[in-house]
Amino acid sequence: MSKKVLVISTSLRNNSNSDALANSFVKGAKEAGNQVEKISLRDKSIGFCQGCLACLKAGNCVIKDDAVEIAKKMHDAEVIVFATPIYYYEMSGQMKTMLDRANSLYGTDYIFQDLYMLSTAAEDEERVDARAVGGLEGWIECFERARLAGTVFAGGVNGIGEIEGHPALEQAFEMGKAV
């Protein structure tokens, strides 16, 4: 059965390695017959959460920028995929800011259940992505019907295009097909 999949690429670098992982996941998910939308935060205007909690009453953030529409798309997706570069062993600041700005989803009748994380880093040691995955898991913990359904990590890639031929591309493709 076809699912509505939202892929959010959080790197601000054109042709980034994490964006390549996102594209592989998209290709697999589309090949499996899913309805897939990919959003890049690269060209979006997303301000910091002000912690006012007005979103919990209004149903959407009171800051008028691109995060409001992205949060609506997150609400309506069955599957959400985040692709991020790992900076200092953590998710990108853009990803964390978007998660904070999606606070309006808390307490709503959101649709998403399965979330995935795709990440890349220059470092190639085991568990380089652990803190970033943990950060996403902390956000997911606030949504009782949601779960982290899978992760793909590509280490040892830094410069643009270095991910070419990396086994994580195939892993992301297969994960997308399995959605």
Residues sharing a CB contact under 8 Å with residue 111, sequence separation 6 or more, in sequence order:
4, 75, 76, 77, 78
Residue 115, beta-bridge partner list:
80, 148
What does the pLDDT look like over 82-140, one tens digit per residue? 999 999 999 999 999 999 999 999 999 999 999 999 999 999 998 999 999 999 999 99
Q: Which CATH architecture has domain 4-177?
A: 3-Layer(aba) Sandwich (3.40)
- Residue 1 pLDDT more than 90? no
> d(Cα 10, Cα 96) in Å, to the nearest integer?
9
Whether the Cβ atoms of residue 7 and residue 39 lie closer than 8 Å to each other: yes
> Against a cut of 0.95, is the pTM above it?
yes
Q: How far is the C-alpha of 97 from the C-alpha of 60, rounded, in Å?
A: 15
> Is the CB of residue 46 less than 8 Å from the CB of residue 98?
yes
Other CB atoms closer than 10 Å to residue 32's CB: what's the count? 15
- Show me where the domains of the chain are located: 4-177
Tens digit of pLDDT for each residue in 55-81?
A: 988 888 999 999 999 999 999 999 999
